[in-house]
Amino acid sequence: MHYIFLYTGLFLCLLMVLSLYRAVFGPTVLDRLIGANAIGSKTVVLLVLIGLIYERVDMFVDIAMAYAMLNFIAVLAASRYFQKKKGLL
């Protein structure tokens, strides 16, 4: 069962590389924000998978929830900042 979690985590890392490309080379600021948010969301799932592999789900779920909250607040703050600057496009 650990191999399923391990291969799923590796697949998530591959998907994060694709989102990283969008976050770095996105044509607009909005594409970069969406790429960064996608990386953060996949990181939350990856943290839970790591918790399943190490059989410490309770600890990793707490860390994942805190990271998800920080990711959400950071994306909201960045989008609000760029909306005020009129620089989203």
The pLDDT profile of the chain, 89 residues, written as one tens digit per residue, is 889 989 999 999 999 999 999 999 988 888 899 999 999 999 999 999 999 999 999 999 999 999 999 999 999 998 888 888 876 65
Contact 20, 39 (CB under 8 A): yes
Total domains present in the chain: 1
Tell me the CATH number at 78.
Answer: 1.10.287
The answer to whether residue 33 is domain-embedded is yes
In a domain, 89, yes or no: no
Question: What range defines the domain where residue 18 resides?
Answer: 2-84
Which tokens hold the place of 25? 């080379």
Whole-model pTM: value is: 0.84
**Is 31 part of any domain?**
yes
Q: Cα angle at 85 between 83 and 87, to 5 degrees?
A: 75
70 within a domain of the structure (yes/no):
yes
Q: What is the longest distance spanned by two Cα atoms in the chain?
A: 49
